[in-house]
Amino acid sequence: MLKGKTAVITGASRGIGKAIALNMAQNGANVAIIYAGNTEAAADVRRQAESFGVKAEQYQCDVANWDESKAVCERILADFGSVTILVNNAGIIKDNLLLRMSEKDFEDVIDVNLKGAFNFIKHLSRSIMKAPGGRIINISSVSGMMGNVGQANYSAAKAGVIGLTKTVAREFAGKNVTCNAIAPGFISTDMTAALPLTIKEHANTTIPLKRMGTPDEVAHVATFLASDFSSYITGEVIRVDGGLCM
């Protein structure tokens, strides 16, 4: 499905990003694994990706840092020659009620979740626009669609990702590049595992499908959006949330 294409996935050492990287590798894409700090976890993802017979490399990067992101993107282009697919998945949470939220916690979440996506789109856009069937996929959240108590920073960042997605879709359409967003709901990852049990139990009662999703269920949608099967879809936000936000 993705044979011969190169995909860059940020936040790919665990959770949803890891699942996307491995699913795309399984479908034939070479993968550049971007991670923040856990080198061994990223190396494990790289080894698993290579087992599918594709090229895989890992790159440590603070996606919120303009210069660092630019340098890493230049290394990726030198290593792979070109990039066809970009998945902006890197994200952090620093939850608190707005009245208790610090300026730093607000800025940090905006910088990683929103500015990080902008940085990688900016630095890789020329290569993606030259590639046949370029694809940009941004991981947003249902929190960015409906808000969430204690997540003023995260909800604002993920809503911003949706606005960024739609603007990039319009600006890049002339180059036959599509840009779409995926909005996961409650997905079983390290991030949701850290949530209090009461919140997780409440989530399961409010989700129509009565369960959390899996990283693979998000990854399948990402691979579809990266493939030729999605060639006439752009500027869209696809929820993977078990019906939570319908």
Is residue 14 scored above 80 in pLDDT? yes
Indicate the domain borders of the chain: 6-240
Per-residue pLDDT, 244: 94
3-state secondary structure of 158: helix
- Candidate CATH numbers 1.10.4080.10, 3.40.50.720, 3.30.43.10, 1.10.760.10; the one for domain 6-240: 3.40.50.720
Assess whether 154 carries a catalytic annotation. Answer: yes
CB atoms under 10 Å from CB of 228, counted, come to 11
Residues 181-232 pLDDT 10s:
999 999 998 877 777 787 778 788 899 999 999 999 999 999 999 999 999 9
Residue 107 CA to residue 198 CA, distance in Å, equals 28
Per-residue pLDDT, 192: 76
Range 194-216 burial, b when 16+ CB lie within 10 A, else e: eeeeeeeeebeeebeeeebbebe
Cα dihedral 189, 49, 51, 178 sign: positive
Residues 29-51 pLDDT 10s:
999 999 999 999 999 999 999 99
Is residue 130 scored above 80 in pLDDT? yes
Cα dihedral 61, 48, 87, 160 sign: negative
Rounded to 5 degrees, what angle do the CA atoms 15, 68, 43 make? 40
Q: Which amino acid would we find at residue 156?
A: A
Residue 38 CA to residue 20 CA, distance in Å, equals 17
**What is the pLDDT confidence band of residue 153, given thresholds at 50, 70 and 90?**
very high
**Sole residue written with tokens 């993920």:** 158
Is residue 156 scored above 80 in pLDDT? yes
Token couple for 135: 């694809």
Per-residue pLDDT, 190: 81
Token couple for 42: 């990223």
3-state secondary structure of 3: coil
Cα dihedral 134, 69, 144, 172 sign: negative
* Residue 179, strand partner residues: 136
- Residue of 35, 59, 154, 232 marked active site: 154
Residues 56-115 pLDDT 10s:
999 999 999 999 999 999 999 999 999 999 999 999 999 999 999 999 999 999 999 999
Token couple for 107: 């800025």
